[in-house]
Amino acid sequence: MDAATLTGLLWEGLLQTLYMTIIATLVAYIIGLPIGVSLIVTSPNGIKPIGWYNKVMGFIVNVIRSVPFLILMIALMPYIRKLIGTGIGTSATTAALIVAAAPFVARMVEQSLLEVDPGVVEAAQSMGASNMQIIRKVMLLEARPSLLNGAAVATITILGYSAMAGSIGGGGLGDIAIRYGLHRFQPAIMWITVIVLVILVQIMQEIGIKVAAKLDNRIN
Amino acid sequence: MSEHIISLQGVTKEFDTKGGKVVALKDINLDIDEGDSYGIIGLSGAGKSTLVRTINLLEQPTEGKVLFDGENLTGLRSKDLNLKRRKISMIFQQFNLLMQRDAIGNICFPLELAGVPRADAEKKALELLKVVDLEDRAHSYPSQLSGGQKQRVAIARALASDPEVILCDEATSALDPKTTRAILALLKKINEERGITLVVITHEMDVIKQLCKKVAVIEGGEIVESGKVTDIFAQPKTQAARRLFFPDEQKMELENRGKTSTKNRLRIVYDGRSAYDPTIANMIMELRAPVNILYANMDVVGDEQKGQMVICLADDEKIADKQKKYLKEHGVNFTEIKEEEE
């Protein structure tokens, strides 16, 4: 394989990986953020404790999180095929990534919101803030640095999942690494994709840390 | 207006814990008038924090009524309760400022909640920063402010919604003595100049002495004594009040246990005017009987100077009776100290 073909192959894989990771992370947050917030709000010490909801939702989140991603993806394949017409490739992988990542994101968000000082929430309540105002203006804002750090971790985890999906024809850099490295005995290509993945993770982590620090008003 | 601004009627609060029911408040009845600076003092665990939280219903009482401006808050829907809460501000021991907002942002917060336009809110916040003497720190974040400055921001925030009442939950307990005095002076000024009612929760008698006109002593979830600070200082009726008002006496008693007679002990409280009359010295000379001075101290309660003294009269009951009579005739207020029953 000449350099131009290899570059083209890697470029395509990189774009696919980025596409899967970014779309899956965004949608996972659209689903997982409200779930994470709801877990905090309805907990026994929350601003609106709802015991049964908290237990049921916590259980669902735990069940999905305990299934290894590859198994979850295989299990979901028939449903995804029904839904979008195909069980493999980037779109199918993205769909599976969303299902796997949403509960993970929910727990990350829950952890971040746990760090919010209950005293500040109490102060807002004493001012007559509604629960919605407390969530939007107190919890999410006060936890912003932690939420952003969590988002970096979540994105990197989803990137890792997407690479794993390569082993069952998921597309992206992971797919390339497995096809060339494992099936065609071309370890050099495998290592190159690994290096690209490492660089990608580094960049994401750095961005996460920088943005979180920049938007944290506790230390300047 | 003759009606009480805050009235707690038969308020009881129970908590369900793993170990069973814990009664935090027992049948509390408390009336606070408009413009009062009302102290609630008790040791930790006495239930004072729970009590203050029932006033704005951060704690729902298990039983009883909480009246604010004559209206029962316990029956309100949360939307209506939130409107009432804007008239009852609160400041906290740990300040509880939003760490991600600067001073102005924190002061604007209650106004933002109430839907006040941003420009108006900021204008008001700037004015309030002047009231709390912090104009130059408008754009500082809480992490850049000292404890005293944070509490000033919190006070400005409490004032933003034009409250009728400010609840102070151990507002100076995290501050050093000098800052404490400054914050108490600021609160006193707000109470006097703006007529805002203060409810002050504390375990420190100095806070009550400096800031409050009335006080309720709470112990074991019950109000054991309440009234004017000067009255309770002069003649505390309960052990709990005595322990809080005269902590030195407790210490003294422990140190002197067995060394001095515990018979015929008196506490004399006198105000500034009589502080200079040598009544005790005259009595000793006139009756030719000794008096043992165990303890003496001067205090400023409210704006009045108050002195207190613990003396031990003669062992002989006859002479002691004469001495008591002498004191009464000379207009000295005293209470007899009975041996602690322990």
Separation between Cα atoms, residue B48 and residue B218, nearest integer Å = 7
Strand pairing report for B37-41 and B88-92: unpaired
Region B322-329: mean pLDDT is 84
Q: Is A15 within the bounds of a domain? A: yes
Find the CB nearest A119 among B94, B109, B114: B94
- What H or E segment, with its residue span, contains residue B65? strand B63-68
Q: Average of pLDDT values for B248-271? A: 68
> Which residues from B are below 8 Å from A144, CB to CB?
100
Is the dihedral angle over the CA atoms B148, B150, B154, B156 positive or is it negative? positive
Instruction: Give the pLDDT confidence score for residue B284 in this predicted structure.
Output: 84
Which CATH architecture describes the domain B246-337? 2-Layer Sandwich (3.30)
Contact A218/B at CB under 8 A: yes
* Mean pLDDT, residues B134-149 taken together: 93
Instruction: Please report the pLDDT score of residue B259 as a whole number.
Output: 59
Residue A139, in any domain of the structure: yes
Q: What pLDDT, on the 0 to 100 scale, is given for residue B335? A: 78
Q: Does residue A219 sit within a domain?
A: no
Section B150-167 average pLDDT: 95
In this predicted structure, the answer to whether residue B272 has a pLDDT above a threshold of 80 is no
Higher pLDDT, B295 or B109: B109
Tokens describing residue B96: 């509880």
Give the domain range for residue A23: 3-214
Q: Which amino acid is at A30?
A: I
- pLDDT number for residue B256: 63
pLDDT of B233: 82
Enumerate the residues of chain A whose CB falls inside 8 A of the CB of residue B109: 124, 127, 137
Predicted local distance difference test score (pLDDT) of residue B331: 77
B289-299 burial, b at 16+ Cβ within 10 Å, e below that, comes to bebeebbeeeb
pLDDT of residue B32: 94
Asked if B76 and B51 count as a contact pair (C-beta separation under 8 A), the reply is: no
Cβ contact A152:A209 at 8 Å: yes
- Residue pointed to by tokens 């408008």: B138
What was the pLDDT predicted at A59?
Answer: 96
Residue A120 to residue B96, Cβ atoms within 8 A: yes
Q: What is the pLDDT of residue A120?
A: 96
Q: B30: closest CA among B58, B45, B51, B14?
A: B51
pLDDT of residue B251: 66
Task: Look at residue B260 in the predicted model and tell me its pLDDT.
Answer: 59
Convert the pLDDT of each residue in B31-76 to its tens digit: 999 999 999 998 888 888 999 999 999 999 999 999 999 899 998 9
- B109: contact with A, CB 8 A cutoff: yes
**A residues 80-119 closer than 8 Å to B (CB):** 117, 119
Say what the pLDDT of residue B341 is: 40
Nearest chain B Cα distance for residue A31, angstroms: 25
pTM tops 0.95, yes or no: no
List all residues 6 or more positions away from B148 whose beta carbon is below 8 Å from its beta carbon: B175, B179, B182, B183
Residues of B in contact with A123 (CB under 8 A): 90, 92, 96-97
Q: Which of B79, B96, B153, B170 to mutate to test the interface with A (most CBs of A within 10 A)?
A: B96
Res A165: pLDDT: 87
pLDDT at position B313 is 83
**Is A132 near chain B, with CB under 8 Å?**
no
Measure Cα distances from A154 to A203, B109, B193 in Å.
14, 31, 54
Residue B281, amino acid: A
Q: Where are the domains of chain B?
A: 6-235, 246-337
| Number of domains into which chain A is organized | 1
CB pairs under 8 A between A and B: 79
Q: Nearest Cα to A37, choosing from A149, A116, A154?
A: A116
A126 lies within 8 A of chain B by CB = yes
Q: Is B130 exposed, middle or buried (0-12, 13-18, 19+ CB in 10 A)?
A: exposed
A124 at B interface, C-beta within 8 A: yes
> Which of A137, A142, A217 minimises the CB distance to B141?
A217
What order do you get walking across the sheet with B304-312 strand by strand? B292-301, B304-312, B265-271, B334-337
Residue A217 has its nearest CB partner, among B99, B114, B161, at: B99
Is residue A19, in this structure, part of any structural domain at all? yes
A121 to chain B: closest CA residue? B96
Helix (H) or strand (E) holding A127: none
Q: Are A137 and B88 an interchain contact pair (Cβ–Cβ within 8 Å)?
A: no
Q: Taking CB atoms and an 8 Å cutoff, what residues of chain A touch B110?
A: 127-128
Residues A18 and A197 sit within 8 Å (Cβ to Cβ) = no
Backbone angles phi, psi at B294, to 5 degrees: -90, -30
Residue A49's Cα: distance from chain center in Å?
27
pLDDT band, very low/low/confident/very high, at B277 (cuts 50, 70, 90): low
Backbone angles phi, psi at A142, to 5 degrees: -70, -30
Rounded Cα–Cα distance for residues A99 and A146 (Å): 23
Q: What is the mean pLDDT of chain B?
A: 87
Question: Of the candidates B97, B99, B110, which has its C-beta nearest A127's C-beta?
Answer: B110
Check residue B53 and give its pLDDT. 94
- Nearest Cβ partner for B86 among A128, A133, A138: A128
Please tell me which residue, B72 or B239, carries the higher pLDDT value. B72
Residue A67 per-residue DSSP state: S
pLDDT score for B1: 45
| CATH number, residue A202 | 1.10.3720.10
Return residues 42-71 of B near A (CB < 8 Å): 56, 58
Which CATH number does the domain B6-235 belong to among 2.60.120.40, 3.40.50.300, 3.40.50.720, 3.40.50.2300?
3.40.50.300
The whole-angstrom separation of Cα B7 and Cα A175 is 71
Answer whether residue A220 is part of any domain. no
Report pLDDT for B261: 58
CB A150 within 8 A of CB B119: no
* Shortest alpha-carbon distance between residue A142 and chain B (Å): 6
The answer, for B76 touching chain A at a CB cutoff of 8 Å, is: no
Contact list in A for residue B79 (CB cut-off 8 A) is 130
Q: What is the pLDDT of residue B153?
A: 96
Cα separation, A157 vs A17, whole angstroms? 13
Q: With a cut of 70, say whether residue B257 has pLDDT above it.
A: no
**Nearest C-alpha neighbor of B138 from the set B87, B147, B128, B302:** B128
Report yes or no: B203 and B243 within 8 Å, Cβ to Cβ: no
pLDDT in tens, chain A (220 residues): 688 888 888 899 999 999 999 999 999 999 999 999 999 999 999 999 999 999 999 999 999 999 999 899 899 989 999 988 887 888 889 999 999 999 999 999 999 999 999 999 999 999 999 999 999 999 999 999 999 999 999 999 999 999 888 888 888 888 888 888 888 888 888 888 889 999 999 999 999 999 999 988 886 5
Minimal Cβ distance to B85: which of A117, A126, A141: A126
At residue B249, the pLDDT reads 67
Beta carbons of A220 and B144 less than 8 Å apart: yes
Please indicate if any CB of chain B lies within 8 Å of the CB of A122.
yes
State the Cα angle at B77 between B75 and B79, rounded to 5°: 140
